[in-house]
């Protein structure tokens, strides 16, 4: 039986759970193994029954925080160094030599853009549509909306959108350490940031209705939604919550900005809602949440989210897809551009409202919640989107692709 090697960034729960869902669909056809660099969510891989190879350099909590800040383009962010990228790629290639994988399946483990081509092993990228090469080539008309709170709002919308798409398509952010490692292994450089989001095969975890395009370039294809289905049941405390007020599911993923999360949590204080909040890992030990905010650790969101009347979430694709799969309208507070697009796409479909992380206030949040709760059209659209999301299982589609392409 051939080996598939999965390589999520194990500091990110969305990537880890996405890869686990795919591996579950492949275990009858392949020997599925994982590698990573540590982090809070690596244990989920072994708990799911898959071998995990932990490589060096390990990601410390401090380093994880710096990487998340870099991803969110915040002060204090520090991307991978040249030395980190070269060491990672070297250790990955040693593992490939030992396991001889038929393919490497990744989310956003950038060092594999060095190690996989250096070892001449096919690289399968499983990724969101936002910020990819075909995304920008489609010239999405979204930036005038996302930058509508800045001085750019005075520019003509069509000109602004076209100009920014061209700029982003040719940006070089984050390429330096990857290219330093590629040069070390005598590989040609990657010219643009969008090249960091492209492998030999690219499987987009989206549906065309939300991506805004119907067709993709060669070696790209839509596979549909993939999101976490954590084990366990709905906690009895949630089952016993009173239903005399609207029930809101509030989550901001593993990449949450603690300041934004605490700010939004405090906005719920005194509002006439009951809040289910799987945010405990992000809270200071001495923090006392509002009485109406019931705090939990990680929950099986695909079981809890459908219980809610509404969700308040960041724009991570897994969290957004869970809400859509559950038929739950949501208020989205994106923490970085990809997340803002994920929120915007569902807002355009008619069952979400997007708020800016730097401009959100208690009044704006309250008004957005009340507007969605009163909007029967939004609930109707949420049910339509739910039917579409449930019609296609992205993990199964990826498993089918891997079997057909690399199976014996």
Least confident of 22-36, 70-84, 99-113, 321-335: 70-84
Q: What's the distance, Cα to Cα, between the start and end of the chain in Å?
A: 7
List phi, psi (to 5°) of 248: -120, 130
Q: At 95, is the pLDDT very low, low, confident or very high (cuts 50, 70, 90)?
A: very high
Helix axes 317-326, 337-349, angle to 10 degrees: 20
pLDDT of residue 69: 85
Q: Which residues pair with 105 in a beta bridge?
A: 6, 124
Please choose, from the candidates 89, 81, 78, 90, the residue with its C-alpha nearest in 3D space to the C-alpha of residue 111. 89
Tokens, residue 4: 């598939």
Q: Which residues pair with 352 in a beta bridge?
A: 330
57 prior amide bond cis, ω within 30: yes
Tell me which of 311 and 143 has the higher pLDDT: 311
Query: Which strands sit side by side in the sheet containing 201-204, from one edge to the other?
Result: 52-54, 31-36, 3-7, 103-106, 123-127, 201-204, 220-222
Say yes or no to pLDDT of 6 above 90: yes
Please choose, from the candidates 296, 290, 241, the residue with its C-alpha nearest in 3D space to the C-alpha of residue 262. 290
Burial class for 183, CB neighbours closer than 10 Å (0-12, 13-18, 19+): middle
Say yes or no to pLDDT of 254 above 80: no
Across 231-235, 334-338, 375-379, which has the greatest mean pLDDT? 375-379
Helix H or strand E segment including 312: strand 310-313
The domains located in the chain, with CATH, are: 3-226+393-406 (3.40.50.2000), 236-390 (3.40.50.2000)
Tell me which of 70 and 136 has the higher pLDDT: 136
Q: At 90, is the pLDDT very low, low, confident or very high (cuts 50, 70, 90)?
A: very high
Looking at residues 104-115, what average pLDDT do you find? Answer: 96
Say yes or no to pLDDT of 83 above 80: yes
pLDDT of residue 229: 84
Say yes or no to pLDDT of 148 above 80: no
Q: At 231, is the pLDDT very low, low, confident or very high (cuts 50, 70, 90)?
A: confident
Say yes or no to pLDDT of 255 above 80: no
Alpha-helix runs per DSSP H in 48-105? 61-71, 82-99
pLDDT of residue 210: 94
List phi, psi (to 5°) of 398: -65, -45
Q: Checking phi first, is residue 332 left (phi over 0); if not, alpha (psi -120 to 50) or beta?
A: beta
Q: Average per-residue pLDDT in the chain?
A: 93
262 prior amide bond cis, ω within 30: no
Looking at residues 33-45, what average pLDDT do you find? Answer: 94
């Amino acid at each position: 039986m051939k080996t598939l090697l999965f390589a999520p960034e194990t500091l990110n729960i969305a990537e880890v759970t996405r890869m686990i869902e795919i591996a579950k669909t492949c275990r009858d056809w392949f020997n599925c193994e994982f590698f990573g660099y540590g982090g809070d969510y690596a244990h989920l891989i072994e708990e799911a029954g898959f071998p995990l190879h932990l490589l060096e350099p390990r990601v410390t909590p401090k380093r994880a925080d710096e990487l998340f800040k870099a991803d969110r383009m915040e002060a204090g962010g520090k991307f991978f160094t040249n030395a980190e990228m070269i060491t990672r790629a070297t250790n990955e290639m040693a593992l490939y030599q030992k396991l001889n994988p038929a393919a490497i399946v990744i989310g956003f483990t950038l060092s594999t853009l060095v190690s996989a081509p250096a070892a001449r092993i096919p690289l399968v990228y499983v990724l969101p549509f936002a910020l990819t090469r075909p995304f920008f080539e489609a010239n999405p008309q979204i930036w005038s909306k996302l930058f509508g709170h800045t001085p750019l709002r005075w520019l003509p919308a069509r000109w602004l959108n076209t100009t920014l798409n061209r700029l982003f398509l040719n940006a070089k952010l984050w390429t330096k350490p990857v290219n330093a490692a590629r040069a070390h292994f005598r590989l040609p450089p990657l010219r643009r940031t969008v090249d960091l989001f492209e492998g030999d095969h690219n499987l987009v975890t989206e549906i065309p209705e939300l991506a805004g395009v119907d067709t993709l370039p060669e070696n790209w294809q839509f596979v549909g939604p993939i999101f976490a289905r954590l084990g366990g049941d709905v906690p009895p405390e949630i089952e016993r919550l009173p239903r005399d007020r609207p029930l809101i599911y509030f989550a901001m993923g593993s990449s949450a900005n603690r300041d934004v999360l605490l700010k939004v949590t405090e906005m719920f204080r005194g509002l006439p809602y009951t809040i289910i909040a799987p945010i405990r890992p992000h809270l200071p030990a001495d923090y006392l949440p509002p009485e109406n905010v019931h705090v939990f650790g990680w929950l099986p969101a695909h079981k809890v989210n459908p219980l809610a009347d509404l969700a308040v979430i960041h724009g991570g694709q897994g969290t957004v897809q869970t809400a859509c799969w559950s038929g739950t309208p949501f208020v989205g507070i994106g923490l970085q551009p990809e997340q803002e697009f994920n929120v915007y796409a569902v807002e355009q479909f008619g069952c979400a409202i997007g708020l800016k992380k730097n401009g959100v206030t208690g009044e704006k949040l309250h008004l957005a919640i009340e507007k969605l709760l009163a909007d029967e059209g939004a609930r109707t659209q949420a049910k339509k989107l739910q039917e579409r999301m449930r019609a296609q299982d992205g993990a199964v589609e990826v498993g089918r692709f891997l079997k057909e392409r690399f199976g014996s």
